Amino acid sequence: MNVRRRLISATAVTAATALGLGALSACSSDSAATGNTDKFDVVASFYPMAFLAEQIGGDHANVTSLTEPGQEPHDLEISTKQRAQLEEADAALFLKGLQPAVDEAVSQTGIKTKIDAAGLTTLEDHGSTEHEHEGEGEEGHAEEEEHARDPHIWLDPVKYAEVAEGVGKAFEKADPDHAADYKKNTAALVKKLNGLDGEFENGLKDTRTKVFFTNHAAFGYLAERYGLTQEAISGLDPESEPSAARVKELQQEAKADGVTTVFYETLVSDKTAKTLAKDAKLKTDVLDPLEGITDKSRGDDYFQVMEANLKALQAALGAK
């Protein structure tokens, strides 16, 4: 996984160097591009960031997302067009550590306002279930720590609200003419997120089991917030496959902890989850990490899908 990540970054650097001048001239001639409207142009890295920008920016912001709906965001690559779009935007809103190509592209642009959501809350190390150890040297250790920081903060309404507060302040500073509206919109969003937190808190307080199985380790913050234990079939990367030993371990754990359901998600293959469920005689259901909204999503926005997630968790955990 680490090797692959490094390769992607290297490609991104080369592409950016080659395109440097082209992107600049595109800036001055193409005024109708998405990143250059009369509004406060925000380029968001993927859905949870775009949703924040839209909710807080309201009528004043023109929000575009680098990740297409239905595209799995983790290994996104940035196109030439998107680099130009970033260069023309007023602000970039991203989550450092989730999409290496985005981190790279944002750091290389001259964009004035760069908002890193990871810097607006605290990231934790939830450990990766299948972590490759690349030797015990100093350097290897540092790299591992960096990769182990779990970026999936938006699935915890409390942390997502902290990020919303920070994004609101950044918008106020970057576009002071509309500061009052950004403040008002942020307060409304935070209130809704607090309400959602209360629903999860109450809804998951009294359950038959506290353990749930997911495809990739997206729900670490959510689990921690509501006293649950997430067991991920893959690690933090949704595309990685579990080892035979891991599958066996999960089967034993399902028995020991009264796990009823293996959750899969909408943007990646459900094959591994379904195989595990069949072998261990468990049910399957969707627990959506909200990395993108598509036709298959159980709702049209963050709040609707989170409500569906709560219902799915309550059913799987045997809420009383």
**41 vs 291, beta carbon nearer Zn ion:** 291
**105 vs 218, beta carbon nearer Zn ion:** 218
- In whole angstroms, how close is the CB of 197 to Zn ion at the nearest point? 21
* Position 302, amino acid: Y
> Judged by CB under 5 A, which stretch of 158-166, 182-190, 217-225, 261-269 contacts Zn ion?
217-225
From the list 288, 317, 291, the residue with the least C-alpha distance to 305 is 288
- In whole angstroms, how close is the CB of 271 to Zn ion at the nearest point? 17
Q: Are strands 113-116 and 61-65 parallel, antiparallel or unpaired?
A: unpaired
127 Rama sector, left if φ>0, alpha if ψ -120 to 50, beta otherwise: left
H/E stretch holding 304: helix 302-317
Name residue 40's beta-bridge partners. 61
128 contacts 207 by C-beta, under 8 angstroms: no
**69 vs 203, beta carbon nearer Zn ion:** 69
Should residue 232 be labelled a site residue for Zn ion when binding is judged by CB under 5 A?
A: no
CA R_g for the chain: 20
- In whole angstroms, how close is the CB of 38 to Zn ion at the nearest point? 35
Contacts of 35 (CB under 8 A, 6+ apart): 41, 43, 64, 84, 85, 86, 87, 88, 89
- In whole angstroms, how close is the CB of 72 to Zn ion at the nearest point? 8
- In whole angstroms, how close is the CB of 147 to Zn ion at the nearest point? 13
Should residue 218 be labelled a site residue for Zn ion when binding is judged by CB under 5 A?
A: yes
> Judged by CB under 5 A, which stretch of 58-66, 215-223, 243-251, 265-273 contacts Zn ion?
215-223
Give me the residue whose beta carbon is nearest to Zn ion: 218
Should residue 250 be labelled a site residue for Zn ion when binding is judged by CB under 5 A?
A: no
User: Residues in the site for Zn ion, rule: CB under 5 A?
Assistant: 218
